[in-house]
Structures are given as structure tokens and as C-alpha cells.
Structure 1
Amino acid sequence: MTILLLGSGGREHALAWKLTQSPFCEKLLVAPGNAGTAQIATNVNTSVTDFQAIKTIVLQEQVAMVVVGPEDPLVQGIYDFFQNDDQLKNISVIGPSKLGAQLEGSKEFAKKFLIRHGIPTAAYDSFTKETVEEGCAFLETLSPPYVLKADGLAAGKGVVILSELQAAQTELRQMLLESKFGQASAKVVIEEFLEGIELSCFVLTDGKNYKILPTAKDYKRIGVGDTGLNTGGMGAISPVPFADSVLMDKIEQRIVIPTVKGLQEENIPYRGFIFIGLINVKGEPMVIEYNVRMGDPETEVVIPRLKNDLVELFSAVAQQKLNTVNLEIDSRSAATVMLVSGGYPEDYQKGKVISGIDSVEDSIVFHAGTKAENGQILSNGGRVLAVTSFGDDFQQAVKKSYQNINKLYFDTMYYRPDIGFDLLG
């Protein structure tokens, strides 16, 4: 079959890498893709939110399946667009409905869903510019640190954690009154802070059945020791060493099952990934957030550990037959380290020549923000490359990635040298 994959990051390169290994994938189109996807698939220069252009490609190329990588087209309703079009409704879309995508598109929607279904999460309240002073008063009732979340999509940067009450109140006013995160912060959710260690649980569901994919942990801060600004993610490891069978059973019984059941009870069409951001509070898992797609850079460690044919897996999702599939997972650990442009996540330069990719051995280089030009590969984003390796444990996998990073170069290249640091000992 011909498959169309939407997106242009490291997540999409990892998905493309896996999809093209399937004998059922005769042709893979990636829109818009990057220099990495161009080497294994056909890039199509189309925006992921231009649904009419996507329709044209799907009909021209006789696409049988659309795999949605990023959140924007999901939140804007690409699943519904296909369902409501007579020419498209029989084409499989891997991704939730517009209503299902509100689990990521609105922090308030997600919190209400969690509480309705008795799923453990932090106490919260939400505020708008009309109630900003009530929000400031609410902050006074909490113990520091203070967690402020823009309600809408803010490219992974809409969460602020502050230790001073006055700073939190100032931040709230900036978010609501000065539109610090644009329309995303027209409403702000304030949560109690949960102390613990984070992990990500990935679920693939057809709306009735589900499979729990390998766990992963990503590293969001730009600086060593988890310091500095939040990024889209600087690296990840899978599996998470502390996610033992006891914790995973709690996650499944208290969080995964009620989530999938809740979607069914509320008649929310959902055929795709659920990324559950969790925090382990003294052995008790609690939900920080939902995402409605795979994480990036977690995809770069989760997908390589899947032994299953990804096209078969997605076909089972589309047909609501996921219960007939046995998930096969590579027992080895995987680690990925992200190479980013100097200055990221603030101002950075693009167009830097990347060298050394061909000399990498025993690791996979996934392109995140790259483009091909005049026979060269250039940086084209804040996060540029993800170097993924396998090992008997995560330390071995991380070490292998760092060894191969020494062979790579582009001007201003930066990476975290301590991925996995908090899991030692």
C-alpha cells in the first residue's frame, strides 16, 4: 500500500524508518519531511495542516493510510476531515478525532477528563484574563513550587514552574494579560506541584483495545543536570529502569484502562497513540498530561525497540483488531541524544553544514531539523539530529551514542552530555 506520513521531525524520521521496513509499505510519502526521510521515502512539500492539499495528494497517489505525526493536524481535526469526506472516509487515519485530540489541545479538557474517570492527577484550577486576580489568590493557597500551564498548544513550552509566589503571580499575569504564549495562554491551568521522577507511558489504541508500548524517559531542560530552559527534548532512554512490574501494573489498572474506557464511554473516536506523561510519587503513578501522538525524542527510542511490523500494527488499529496482535519488544535498552543548534530553545541559526553522518557505526542517526541542498545536508531547526543506540543497559546505549556524536559536526552544535544521569545508582 501507499502510506502518507505527516510531519518533519525526528519522530517522523523514526516512524518512516520503521514503516519502510514493512513488506506492506510499497511507497511512503512524507509531508513535508526532512533530509533524512528523503533518503528512504518521497518528501512532499505540503503543510501538515493544509487539509485540501493533503486530500489532493491522497487521491492522486491512491494513499491507503495516513499516519499523523504531530499534534497540530489532530487538534485541527484531520481525522474528522477524512471521515466527513465521501472520497476520503474509507482511508485509514492513524490519529484521534478532533474531540479526542482535546486531551492535548486543552489542558483543562484533559484535567476534567482525568477527574471524571477517577484517574490520579494533581489538584488544579483554571483561570482567564477576567479571573486573573482570583488566580493570583489561588496561588497563595498552594505551597511552592508553582506550576502554570498554558491551556492550549504551545509547542511543548507552555509549562512554567516557579519557586517564588510573586514570580508566579507575575508570570500568570503575563500569560493571561500579555498573551505570553499567544492564544495558547488565553486560559491558564494552575496545578499543585508533584514531587517525584517523571516517565512516559505510550499506548496504542483502536478505541476498544490497547497495547502498552515500551516506557521512556526524556530530558526536557537545555542544561546539564536538568537546568535552564525547557526544550522539545534533549534525549531519551527506554525502558525506564525504575518502571518495574509493580509500577507498570498500577499504571495499567489505574490509568491506561480507565483512559481507554473513558474514551469509549464518552463516544470519543480514538485510533492512534496516547502519550501519558506520568510522575512516580513514592511508588504511586499520577498523570501530569496527555499527548495524542508519540513524543519526540521518545519515538526515537520506543519505535526501534518494537519488533512488530508497524504497518500491520497500524492496520490492526484501523480495523479495531488490535487485540489480535502480540506485541514483540527488543529486550535491549535504547538511548537517543539530541544534537541542537547553538542558542536553542531561544534564537538560533539555520543552514549549517552537517558532516560525519556517513561515518556513524552501530547507531541510527534520525534527522530532526535538516534539509538537503546542493548535495549537502544542512541544519534547518533548533533540534537537528538524534543519535540512537542499543545496549545491554541504558548506560551502554548512551555511551555508544556519545562515541558516535564525536564523529558528527556542524557549527554551534550542542548536546547534553548527561542523558540518563538521574537514573544512576
Structure 2
Amino acid sequence: VLIISDIEEAKQELKEMLSGMFGDASKTVVIEEFLSGIECSVFVLTDGDSYKILPVAKDYKRIGEGDTGLNTGGMGAVSPVSFADDVFMKKVEDRIVIPTIEGLKKDKIVYKGFIFLGLIEVKGEPMVIEYNVRMGDPETEVVMLRIKSDFVSLLEGVATGTLESKLLEIDSRYAVTVMLVSGGYPGDYEKNKEMSGLDKVKDSILFHAGTKLENNKVLTNGGRVIAISSYGETKNEALSLSFKNADVISYDKKYYRKDIGFDLK
């Protein structure tokens, strides 16, 4: 992928690609509009006919603070997302969600489950980057925290085609998650580091990702080790709780991003 802002440079690179810059792989070139903005994740639950829009989240994929370095499976997430207000979400629903549901029906695809919309906000307008058919991680850890109503009831509605009659109640509080990872991740990292302080965590929910229990000791067992998730009346209140508990938990070469939510109001 080449990101080029100058048209003459783009023409030259295109000629070189078509001339075999990447061998057979560049015989075909896709030219796309470059989108500059902030990303967010919108989750839709559908029974194939009706739908419910779940809480919106934003995740942070890069390993380094300020969104630098290599991509990871996710270093943290925040919900709600400040720019995804009622006006923005009305555009998302009218321009993306409804046409997607109607398009599936038009193509006679009976789809029941999650629709993940990876969006980017460009000058106040929602643009689609990707679709998926699952919840995202670590967005799930904050989205599920903000669903107050019975989630099993919603899933029953999906299965039986009665989703429209089911209640979706959303918690108005912020939910955030901060991921503790192994030193060196997403590159080479060591496992089997003994963890301590888990019993001292207060007012946060711990989602174990890469851990294992051995001889009554909790050991690291993956790159992304544990997701510390917290509620707060404000984003900063929720984050301060997760960061506080991130410091309480200890293991060799522990790392986490201290700037989750930095680009949101």
C-alpha cells in the first residue's frame, strides 16, 4: 500500500507498479480515496429483519502511545465515543445500517447475528472502512459493560425473529478497558511470568486474555494478558480507575498504553 499526496508522484508510482514493481502482484492496482479522520466501531444486532444498534466504541490498535508502532490485537477501548453523537449516528443508521439490512434481504441472505461496521469520521461524515460479522476485541469489553438489559433476551430475539420486541437499555456511564501486555509484544515475548496484585484490584472488572493457572499461581500465557475494564461518570474517571489497577497488578516486563482515549474529548 502506498499513501501518496502528490498527483505526479502517484502517476509515477502507478507506472512502476504496473511495470512489475511488486512482480505479478502489481499487475492489478486498486486506487482508493484516502480517508483522514478518527475511527470508531459500530455494532449492530439483527434477526434478519429488524435490528438494534449497540453502544459505539473506539479501540486503539497500535502498540505505542500516540498511535505509533506496530499494530496489535488491541491495547484498549472507550465507549461512548464523543463525536458519535445523535446527528452522526442518524447518518450512520440512514446511510449504512438500513441499506445494509435491506441489501441482505434483497440478495435473499438470511443473516442473524452481529454486523460490525468499522467507520471513520471524515469532517463529520461517516465513511465505511470495513465490515465484519462479530464483536471486536477489546471493544466487546466496553460494549458489553454498557448493555444494562438482558443480553440473552436480545440473543433469543435474534434466534426467534422477535428482536424488535426486545428491550435494549444502555448505561449512560463511560466504560473503558486498558490492556496489559507482555514485554516485547507484538513481537517476540516471554510467557510464564508470575502475576501478583490481582486480589488487590478494586472497582474494575478483569477480563483474562493470556493467563493460566498453575500450582495456584496466575501466570502470563500470551501477548495480550489481561483487560482492565472500568465504569466512570466521565471518560477520565473510568480511565483513572483502570490505570490505577494497572499499576496494582505486577509481572516482569509488564506494559500498557497510558494514553487510551487521548484523541477523544
TM-score when scaled to structure 1?
0.57
Q: CA deviation at 1:191?
A: 3.2
1:409 corresponds to? 250
2:224 corresponds to? 383
What one-letter code is carried by the residue in structure 2 that aligns with 1:203?
V
Mapping of 1:231-242 within 5 angstroms? Answer: 231-242=72-83
Deviation digits for residues 328-383 of structure 1 (CA, Å, limit 9, x no counterpart): 01110011000011111111111111211111100001111112212112111111
Mapping of 1:18-417 within 5 angstroms? Answer: 143-144=4-5, 173=22, 176=25, 191-417=32-258
Identity of aligned residues (%): 62
Cα distance in structure 1, aligned partners of 2:214 and 2:263: 39
CA contact (8 A) 2:70 2:186 kept: yes
Q: CA deviation at 1:192?
A: 2.7
Q: CA deviation at 1:391?
A: 0.5
2:168 counterpart SS class = coil
Cα distance in structure 1, aligned partners of 2:131 and 2:173: 27
CA contact (8 A) 2:154 2:167 kept: no
CA contact (8 A) 2:35 2:120 kept: yes
1:413 counterpart SS class = coil
Distance verdict in 2 for CA 1:418–1:264, change over 3 Å: same
Q: What do you get for the CA RMSD once the two structures are aligned?
A: 2.3
Which contiguous aligned blocks of 4+ residues in structure 1 show a shift greater than 2 angstroms? 142-145, 172-177, 187-192
Cα distance in structure 1, aligned partners of 2:191 and 2:102: 45
Cα distance in structure 2, aligned partners of 1:400 and 1:365: 12
1:116 corresponds to? none
CA contact (8 A) 1:364 1:387 kept: yes
What one-letter code is carried by the residue in structure 2 that aligns with 1:356?
G
CA contact (8 A) 1:175 1:188 kept: no
Q: CA deviation at 1:250?
A: 0.2
Q: CA deviation at 1:190?
A: 5.6
Cα distance in structure 2, aligned partners of 1:174 and 1:290: 29
CA contact (8 A) 2:178 2:229 kept: yes
Task: Give aligned pairs, total.
Answer: 254
CA contact (8 A) 1:353 1:378 kept: yes
TM-score when scaled to structure 2?
0.90
Name the structure, 1 or 2, with higher relative contact order (CA <8 Å, separation 6+).
2
CA contact (8 A) 2:61 2:72 kept: yes
Cα distance in structure 2, aligned partners of 1:263 and 1:355: 49
What one-letter code is carried by the residue in structure 2 that aligns with 1:293?
R
Cα distance in structure 2, aligned partners of 1:421 and 1:312: 35
Q: CA deviation at 1:188?
A: 8.7
What one-letter code is carried by the residue in structure 2 that aligns with 1:255?
I
